[in-house]
Structure 1
C-alpha cells in the first residue's frame, strides 16, 4: 500500500456530484457512470492507496468528472492508475516516486502531465498529501507532449488515411449494400456520415432530428461539438455542409425514428417533440411510463458512441473492400475517415486553419501533422502498373463469362454493354440503371464481361484520358478520379488473359 500522511478531518467532503452530462454520481460508490458512453471503477485503486488517501483522490477526481468531459475524466483516471501501481511502497507524490516513475516511462513521459495537473488541483483544493517540494519540482520539469499523428505521418495502410481508391470502393460498396438490403438504413447513415464529414462517433450519436438544416438550396448537419473540455453536452455546434444524397438518406433515417417513437409512444408526436428526437436513438431505454419530453433532455435516449465503432466493424465484413496497398480487406474505423479528410484537404493546398475548422478542432496542434505530411497520388498509372495493382485491389465485382450465351440475361439484346471498341459484356440486373456505361459497369456486381470483349481497348482509353486530364489541368486529384475503375478494368484484362491461357494449355 502507498504510504502517506495527512488529516482530512478539517476538509469538507462531498457525498455526490452531477457529471457534466447530467448523471448523478455517489463519490464513494465503486462504479461511476458519467455519461451514456463513459463509466469506470474508481474502486480499482482502493487497495493501492488505502481508504484515507482514497477519499481525497475521489474528491479531486470528482472535480474533473463534474467540470470536464466524461472522456477526459476517465482518461485522467486511466493515466494516473499506472503511477499509483508503480508507487506501491513509495510515498504518494513524493519526489522519489516521481523521479523513479519518470525514468521508467522513457519516451512516454507525456503521461506525467496528467499527474502534474492532478497534483495542482489536489493542492489547490487544500487536501493534504502532496509534498510542496515535489510539486515545485514537477512544475519545473519540461514534459514533452504525446506523439501526434503517427498514423497520418506514416500513411499506415491499417490505421492511417484511406487512399482515393479505397474510399471510392468503400462508398460505392456501402451504397450497393444498402440498395440490396445487406446493410441497414441506420448503419448506412453511420458509414456515409463518417466518410463524407469525418466527424467523431460522439458527435454523430449526439445528433437530434432538428440538427438537419436546409436553409435555401443548401443542406447542413449542425453537429454538436466534442472534446470541448468545459462545455456541456450539446452546448456548442458546428455546421457542416453536405450533399443532397446524404441529406435524403438522413431524412429517411429521421422518418424511421419518428415512426419508431410514435409506435412506442402509442400516438402521433407533436412537431416540437419530433425535432428533439435523437437521430440515432437507443429506443430500448425509453420508459413509456415517464415523460418523453423529460427523457429527451439528456443523452439517455441517444445511442452509445461505441455503436458506431461496432457498426463499422460489421460494415467492413459486409462490403469486404480490398486495399490495393495490402491485398487484404480494408480496416474501417471513424478515425481513418477523419485522417482521410484532413489529408485530402492538405493535398489540395489548404492550410492549418482550414483543416482545423473542417475537423472541428479547437486549436492547431494536430492540424499541422497533415500539412507537414502530404502524401503523393500516383502521378502516372500506365498499363503495366495497372495490371500489377489490379489483383491486389480487387475492384472488379462482377463475374467473367465465356460469351454472351453464358451470361444472365444473355438472351436479352438490351442487356448488352457497349464501348467505342464494341460490346464488352452483359448487365445481369433487371432493374433500371442510370449509370454511365461502360465506365460504371466494371465496378458493378451485376456486370458480366465477355472473355473476348475489347477490355484492353477500354483500359487504354481510360489511361489516355487520365493522362490528358493531368496534362490539361495539372491537378492529380481530378486526374485520379477513375483510378479504381482503371484497376477494375485491369483486373478483367488479367482474368481474361489467365482464362485464355488455361484454355490454350488444355
Structure 2
C-alpha cells in the first residue's frame, strides 16, 4: 500500500474522481470509473520525498481530468521509472527515458514532461532540480501520430470499403431474419453503423434517450439523445446531442427495448415502474441483470441512475465484435474475414460523409466534435485523398499486387549495416527522409517514387511514409486537372500508391500498432 508521513495518515484519505467515483489515494489500485482501474503501486519506487509529491499531483489529475488520461499518465510514469533506472526526476533519467523511446512513442516523453510542469504549477516541485525543467523545456517533442490508418485506408483498422460496409448491413439483416443474430446483437451493430459514436457514448444510453417525435422534421422520426463524453468539466450524462435514425434502425431499437424491459422484469419477477423504465440502461451486462433482485425497489431506481448500472465500453465492444464476426464477411482487400473494432464504423461515417461532399462543420457535428480541429484526423486529412486512394486500392487484386519489393528496416543505422554508407532517400516536397538505398550503383530512376517499386529500397519503419502518400495523391489530382482526366496519364503512379500503402501496413505490423 502507498504510504504518506504519519501526520497525514490521521486525516481522511478518500477523494472524488472527476467521474464521481470515490477512491482512497493510499490504495494500490484506484477505481476511477466503471471502465478504468489504475494500479499506482509502482509509485513507491520514487524516493520518499518525491513519491508524496507525485501522488498529490496524480490525485489532482484524478479529481479534475478523465480517468483515461490518469491511466495514461500512470503508464507513462511507470515507463519512465523502468527506462531511467532512477528513483527521481533527473537530467540523467530524462535523457535515458528519451533515448529508450522509438520515434512513434516519443509522445510518451511529452506526457511525463506535462506531468512535470503540472507539478511545478501546483507547487510540488521542491524536490526536482531546476535543470530538469531547463532540459525538458528545450525539447521539441512530436505528438502522437494520428490519421495514418484512415489516410492509407488501412484494411485492418481504417474505414471500411464501400463493399465491406454494405455487406455488413446486408448480412446482418439476413442473419437477424434467420435468427442467427439476437435482437441485442443486431441493435448494437445497427447503432454503431448508423451513428458512428464512440463505444462509451453508446454504452451510456438509457431507454429514455429514444423517442419517435415530430419535433425536428414535422413528421414522426426516430431520434436518440446521445450523451457527450469528451467535453471536459462535465459529469455523467450531463450533455447530449440529438441524432436522427432511419425507421428501420429505430424499429430495431424499439424491439430491443421491449425485450430488454421484459428480461429485467423476468429477473425481478415484477413490472418496472415508468420511472424505472426511463432510467433503465439500454445495455447492461448479464452479470448486472442477474444481480438486480438484490436491490430493494427504492434502491433499484437509484442504481439505474448511476454509471455502474451501464455496461463497460470494453463489454460493449466485445458485443459488437462477436455480432459482426458472426457475419463472416470476407474483405475484398485482404481475402480474409474483416477485422472489427468500434472505431472503424466512426472512421467510415466521416469518410463517407466527405465523399458525399459534406463540409468540415457538418462532419464535425456528425462525429460529435465540439470544434473542427480534429475532423481531418477522421476523414483522412483531406477527403479527396481518401476518395482517390479508395478508387486505387479497390481495383481488382490491387492489394495482392507485388508492388513493394524492397526490405523494411528499423532505421538508417540498420540500413547502413546492410549497405555501408547507404544513401538517404528524401521526399524534398515534404522535407523528410523515407529510407535508404540498398545499392551504391549509379541510378537514374526518379526517387523516391521509383524506390517503392525497387527491390533495393530499404524504407525505415518509423519514417513518415504517409507524407509521400499525400504527395502522390496531390500529384494525381494535378494530373487529372491538367489532362482533362486522361486516365492513362493520371494513373501512372497508381502502382506506387499501392506499394506505399503496403509499406505503411508493414510499418504498422513491425511497430505492433
Provide TM-score, normalisation by structure 2. 0.68
Name the structure 2 match of 1:394.
none
Any conservation in 2 of the 1:69–1:228 contact (CA below 8 Å)?
A: no
Name the structure 2 match of 1:162.
160
Match of 2:70 among 47, 70, 73: 73
Deviation at 1:153, TM superposition (A): 1.1
Deviation at 1:316, TM superposition (A): 3.5
Closer/same/farther in 2, CA of residues 344 and 296 from structure 1, 3 Å limit = same
**What SS does the aligned partner of 1:40 have?**
strand
**What SS does the aligned partner of 1:376 have?**
helix
Deviation at 1:139, TM superposition (A): 3.4
Name the structure 1 match of 2:290.
284
Any conservation in 2 of the 1:87–1:97 contact (CA below 8 Å)?
A: yes
Match of 1:99 among 88, 95, 98: 95
1:32 aligns with 2:30: yes
Closer/same/farther in 2, CA of residues 262 and 104 from structure 1, 3 Å limit = same
CA distance in 2, matches of 1:266, 1:185: 22
CA distance in 1, matches of 2:22, 2:334: 48
CA distance in 2, matches of 1:253, 1:44: 45
Any conservation in 2 of the 1:13–1:59 contact (CA below 8 Å)?
A: no
CA distance in 1, matches of 2:184, 2:366: 24
1:365 aligns with 2:368: no
Closer/same/farther in 2, CA of residues 330 and 54 from structure 1, 3 Å limit = same
Closer/same/farther in 2, CA of residues 167 and 228 from structure 1, 3 Å limit = same
Note the alpha carbon deviations across 1:398-423, whole angstroms, 9 max, x for none. Answer: xxxxxxxxxxxxxxxxxxxxxxxxxx
Deviation at 1:80, TM superposition (A): 2.2
1:325 aligns with 2:333: yes
Note the alpha carbon deviations across 1:66-103, whole angstroms, 9 max, x for none. Answer: 221212211221222211212223x6222332233223
Match of 2:58 among 51, 58, 61: 61
1:297 aligns with 2:305: yes
Closer/same/farther in 2, CA of residues 269 and 378 from structure 1, 3 Å limit = closer
Closer/same/farther in 2, CA of residues 381 and 156 from structure 1, 3 Å limit = closer
CA distance in 1, matches of 2:198, 2:359: 21
Deviation at 1:230, TM superposition (A): 2.5
Match of 1:187 among 185, 188, 200: 185
Which protein has the larger Cα radius of gyration, Structure 1 or Structure 2?
A: 1
Name the structure 1 match of 2:314.
306
Name the structure 1 match of 2:249.
246
Note the alpha carbon deviations across 1:342-376, whole angstroms, 9 max, x for none. Answer: 11112122233222221112333331232423223
Deviation at 1:50, TM superposition (A): 4.7
Equivalences for 1:118-133 in 2 at 5 Å?
118-127=115-124, 128-133=126-131
CA distance in 2, matches of 1:357, 1:77: 32
Note the alpha carbon deviations across 1:287-331, whole angstroms, 9 max, x for none. Answer: 533411211221111111112221233223311001111111111
Any conservation in 2 of the 1:286–1:301 contact (CA below 8 Å)?
A: no
Closer/same/farther in 2, CA of residues 140 and 87 from structure 1, 3 Å limit = same
Equivalences for 1:194-209 in 2 at 5 Å?
194-209=192-207
Closer/same/farther in 2, CA of residues 12 and 112 from structure 1, 3 Å limit = farther
Deviation at 1:172, TM superposition (A): 1.1
1:228 aligns with 2:231: yes
Deviation at 1:104, TM superposition (A): 3.0
Deviation at 1:381, TM superposition (A): 13
Query: Which sits farther off after the overlay, 123-132 or 109-118?
Result: 123-132
Equivalences for 1:255-294 in 2 at 5 Å?
255-282=258-285, 283-286=289-292, 288-290=294-296, 291-294=299-302
Structure 1 runs not aligned, ≥5 long: 1-5, 392-506
CA distance in 1, matches of 2:290, 2:101: 44
**What SS does the aligned partner of 2:309 have?**
coil
Any conservation in 1 of the 2:196–2:346 contact (CA below 8 Å)?
A: yes
Name the structure 2 match of 1:504.
none
Q: Find runs of 4+ consecutive structure 1 residues off by over 4 angstroms.
A: 6-14, 377-382
Count of paired positions: 382
Provide TM-score, normalisation by structure 1. 0.69
Any conservation in 2 of the 1:17–1:25 contact (CA below 8 Å)?
A: yes
**What SS does the aligned partner of 1:20 have?**
coil
CA distance in 1, matches of 2:147, 2:31: 30
Closer/same/farther in 2, CA of residues 266 and 316 from structure 1, 3 Å limit = closer
Deviation at 1:21, TM superposition (A): 2.5
CA distance in 1, matches of 2:375, 2:309: 33
RMSD: 3.0
1:374 aligns with 2:386: yes
CA distance in 2, matches of 1:95, 1:377: 45
Any conservation in 2 of the 1:257–1:281 contact (CA below 8 Å)?
A: no
